Amino acid sequence: MDKQKLSVVASAIVSHAKGVLAADESSPTIKKRLDSIDVESTEPTRRRYREILFTTEGIEQEIGGVILFDETIRQSTLDGVPFARLLADRGIVPGIKVDRGARALACYPDEKVTEGLDGLRDRLVEYRELGAGFAKWRAVIQIDERDVPSPFGIRANAYALARYAALCQEEGLVPIVEPEVLMDGGHDIERCEAVTARVLEAVFAELDAHRVLFEGMLLKPNMVIAGKNCPHQNSPEEIAEATIRCLSRYVPAAVPGIVFLSGGQKAEEATANLNAMNKMGRHPWEVSFSYGRALQAPVLAAWKGQESNMAAAQQALKKRARLNGLAREGKYSP
């Protein structure tokens, strides 16, 4: 394992106030996004949409990595430049989603476990040859009744994340480890903090047992935040305090960066919450973003599938990237 290279790549992705653009929607998910603007999801429309994202001028100032889906890493610009090369030439590390989605966890109703370990080593070799420098695997934890998630559900997901991360590092790819505690439901911020704490504790215990190099990975957690249907929603300062307290207890300082998912927060909320965390002062790790919807929702709304809106769509992406870049330094004001 080339430890030096892994830690250089992991740190580069979050260097100089940069973060990650998550553009790795699976085929069913990108269909949902395109449906929302009345664009049919076909290979050419998906390719064109991703081309608009990746050719936006200036995003390399705030975007250090882009996560791609299997179809996307095999696609090219209209001029024939593979997307992975286009990004790398701009100083952006191309990454790849390698999990195969969350499925029902047998004998544990209401809980899920992420699949995709079988054959993963061979797929990682291929993705590395296609130009990927990092990978992503998402575990999904739903908060439901008092006993959901169960300790076993958490452990099963932590184990799969750690198996994935160890395989990635052996093959020279930086793993982004994503245990997502969902915002769905009516739970309050205290319950989210308690569940996130158990999840992070389990994930780092498994990563350690699997001999994963903390310096050569990135963590992509949820923010500690009340459920969408909770009547009491907290301020960015309260969310920042709970999130940093929870991460400080369970995430080793050797991890170079935390790159939050947006998880259904509005674009402005995700930026304001990240800003509040960075305003608290310096943390042991870079505190950054790996947003999907919070970077792309305004782009889709501006584009609407029309070529004549391309410039507006790219401006929308540049704007969100710039504002999240400011939030990385605690300098964003709404």
Question: Can you give the binding site for ligand 13P, defined by CB under 6 A?
Answer: 22, 138, 178, 261-263, 291-294
CB 214 within 8 A of CB 160: no
Amino acid at 59: I
CB closer to ligand 13P out of 276 and 294 = 294
Least Å from the CB of residue 77 to ligand 13P: 23
> In Å, how far are 176, 252, 272, 313 from 213, measured between CA atoms?
12, 11, 31, 39
Least Å from the CB of residue 147 to ligand 13P: 25
* Catalytic position from the list 220, 269, 286, 318: 220
* Catalytic position from the list 25, 62, 178, 269: 178
Got the DSSP string for 242-288? Answer: HHHHHHHHHS-TTS-EEEE--TT--HHHHHHHHHHHHHT---SSEEE
Residue nearest to ligand 13P (CB): 292
From CA 34, how far away is CA 45, in angstroms rounded?
9
Q: Is 279 a catalytic residue?
A: no
From CA 135, how far away is CA 24, in angstroms rounded?
11
CB 240 within 8 A of CB 280: yes
CB closer to ligand 13P out of 4 and 92 = 92
Got the DSSP string for 137-198? Answer: EEEEE---STT-S-HHHHHHHHHHHHHHHHHHHHTT-EEEEEEEE---SS--HHHHHHHHHH
Instruction: Map tokens 């699949």 to a residue.
Output: 115
CB closer to ligand 13P out of 81 and 268 = 268
CB closer to ligand 13P out of 84 and 294 = 294
Least Å from the CB of residue 265 to ligand 13P: 8
Least Å from the CB of residue 62 to ligand 13P: 15
CB closer to ligand 13P out of 24 and 171 = 24
Least Å from the CB of residue 84 to ligand 13P: 18
Q: Is 220 a catalytic residue?
A: yes
CB 19 within 8 A of CB 259: yes
Catalytic positions, please?
178, 220
